C-alpha cells in the first residue's frame, strides 16, 4: 500500500467511488469541503474550488471570468487548456512573447491605447495569463516582474500552477513561495492534482468573492460531475503530507529529493551534450530532438532499453521543435536516474542529438 492508502480505503466505504452528480446537486461531500479549505490555507488565498479535471478547470473557468469587453493577454507558450479557454470566452485575446515581461508591457500599453475593437472604448478588464512552470519548456516564470507590470497597469493576473504547485518553494507552495511573491498579489491561482498530488482534477484559489462567482457560473462547477470523493480524500492526504500536517517529515524529504533529482538529471544531460530547455529546480526537463523523424525512433530505442519516455511533436510543438519531455520524481533513486542516463546516452548517439558532445 502507498502512503495515502490508509486514509483512502475508509473513504470508499463512506462515500462510494463517485458522487454521480455536480457539486451544486448533492455532489459536495464533507471531504470536498475539507479539501477546499485546506487548499486555500496551503496556497494562501481566501477560498478555493476543486474540479474533476485539470484541463476543464481552465477551459470552463476562463469563460466564466471573462466576456466581451475583456482583454486576455496570454503567454505565447501557454498550455492548450488556457488557449482553448480564452478562445471560448468571447474576450479579445492578445499574445506576448514567451516569459518576456518587457514585451508584455509593450503589448499591454498598446492594447490600452487602442481600446476595444471598433468602439475603442476602455477595456472592462484586462487579465494576464501565465504558467508557473511552462509544461513543454520546463522554464520557470519571471513572476515578480510580471506582477509588477500588472500592478502598474491595473490588470489582473491568472497563474496556472499545474507543474509548480507541490514542486517549487521550500515547503512546496509553488511559484509564489519560490519567487518571493505574496499570494495576495496574485488574483487567481489555478493548479492540477495530476502531478505533485498523484491524482486527478484541478482547482482555482482566489478571493471569496471570485470563488463564489465561479462556483455559480463556471460550467465545470455547475454541470460536471464533482471530483470523486475517494480521489478528494487521496489529494487531501497528499496535501497534508506535503504541508507537514501529518506529523512526519515525509513531505519535506520528498521536496528535497525532487529538487536534488531534477538538478542532478538536468546537469548530467547538459554534460552529455544534448540540448535541454528550462531552468534548474524545475522537474520538467525537455530534451530537443528537433526533427519529427526522430520522435518515433527515439521512443522505440529507449523502450528497447527498458526506458519509457514521452516524445512530443507537432501539433503539440512547432514542426521542427520536436522533443522528449522528462518529468522527474522524488521517488526516483540515484540508481534509477543513472541507469536512465546510460540508456539515453546510447540512444542520443543513435539519433544524433548530442549537438554539444563533451564525453
Sheet of 310-312, strand order: 284-290, 322-327, 310-312
Classify 15-242 by CATH class. alpha beta
Nearest to 324 by CA among 298, 350, 345: 298
Q: Do the two domains 15-242 and 250-351 of this chain adopt the same fold? A: no
Classify 250-351 by CATH class. alpha beta
Element (H, E) at 341: helix 334-351
Domain boundaries, the chain: 15-242, 250-351
Per-residue pLDDT of the chain (359 residues; tens, 9 = 90+): 467 888 888 888 888 888 888 888 888 999 999 999 999 999 999 999 999 999 999 999 999 999 999 999 999 999 999 999 999 999 999 999 999 999 999 999 999 999 999 999 999 999 999 999 999 999 999 999 999 999 999 999 999 999 999 999 999 999 999 999 999 999 999 999 999 999 999 999 999 999 999 999 999 999 999 999 999 999 999 999 999 999 999 999 999 999 999 999 999 999 999 999 999 999 999 999 999 999 999 999 999 999 999 999 988 888 899 999 999 999 999 999 999 999 999 999 999 999 876 65
Cα gap 120→104, rounded to integer Å: 20
Give me the DSSP letters along 147-190.
HHHHHHTT-EEEEE-TTTTTTSSTTS--HHHHHT--GGG-SEEE
Question: Cell triple for residue 113?
Answer: 491605447
- pLDDT reported for residue 20: 84
- In this structure, the number of other CB atoms found within 10 A of the CB of residue 271 comes to 12
Cα gap 304→306, rounded to integer Å: 6
Element (H, E) at 36: helix 30-43
Amino acid at each position: 500500500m502507498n502512503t495515502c492508502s490508509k486514509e483512502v480505503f475508509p473513504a470508499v466505504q463512506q462515500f462510494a467511488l463517485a458522487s454521480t452528480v455536480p457539486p451544486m446537486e448533492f455532489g459536495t461531500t464533507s471531504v470536498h469541503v475539507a479539501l477546499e479549505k485546506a487548499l486555500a490555507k496551503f496556497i494562501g488565498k481566501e477560498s478555493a474550488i476543486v474540479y474533476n479535471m485539470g484541463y476543464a478547470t481552465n477551459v470552463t473557468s476562463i469563460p466564466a471570468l471573462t466576456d466581451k469587453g475583456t482583454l486576455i493577454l496570454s503567454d505565447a507558450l501557454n498550455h492548450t487548456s488556457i488557449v482553448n479557454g480564452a478562445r471560448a470566452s468571447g474576450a479579445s485575446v492578445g499574445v506576448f512573447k514567451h516569459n518576456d515581461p518587457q514585451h508584455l508591457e509593450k503589448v499591454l500599453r498598446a492594447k490600452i491605447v487602442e481600446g476595444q475593437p471598433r468602439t475603442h472604448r476602455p477595456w472592462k478588464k484586462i487579465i494576464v495569463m501565465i504558467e508557473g512552470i511552462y509544461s513543454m519548456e520546463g522554464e520557470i516564470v519571471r513572476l515578480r516582474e510580471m506582477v509588477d507590470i500588472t500592478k502598474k497597469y491595473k490588470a489582473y493576473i491568472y497563474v496556472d500552477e499545474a507543474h509548480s504547485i507541490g514542486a517549487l518553494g521550500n515547503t512546496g507552495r509553488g511559484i509564489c513561495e519560490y519567487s518571493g511573491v505574496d499570494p495576495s498579489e496574485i488574483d487567481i491561482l489555478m493548479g492540477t492534482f495530476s502531478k505533485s498530488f498523484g491524482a486527478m482534477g484541478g482547482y482555482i484559489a482566489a478571493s471569496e468573492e471570485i470563488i463564489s462567482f465561479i462556483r455559480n457560473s463556471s460550467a465545470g462547477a455547475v454541470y460536471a460531475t464533482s471530483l470523486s470523493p475517494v480521489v478528494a480524500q487521496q489529494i487531501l492526504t497528499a496535501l497534508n503530507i506535503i504541508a507537514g500536517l501529518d506529523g512526519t517529515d515525509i513531505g519535506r524529504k520528498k521536496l528535497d529529493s525532487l529538487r536534488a533529482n531534477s538538478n542532478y538529471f538536468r546537469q548530467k544531460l547538459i554534460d552529455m551534450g544534448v540540448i535541454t530547455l528550462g531552468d534548474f529546480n524545475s522537474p520538467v526537463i525537455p530534451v530537443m530532438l528537433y526533427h519529427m523523424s526522430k520522435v518515433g525512433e527515439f521512443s522505440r530505442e529507449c523502450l528497447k532499453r527498458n526506458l519509457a519516455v514521452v516524445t512530443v511533436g507537432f501539433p503539440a510543438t512547432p514542426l521542427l521543435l520536436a522533443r522528449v519531455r522528462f518529468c522527474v520524481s522524488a521517488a526516483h533513486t540515484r540508481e534509477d536516474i543513472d541507469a536512465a542516463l546510460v540508456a539515453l546516452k546510447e540512444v542520443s548517439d543513435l539519433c544524433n542529438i548530442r549537438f554539444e558532445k563533451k564525453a
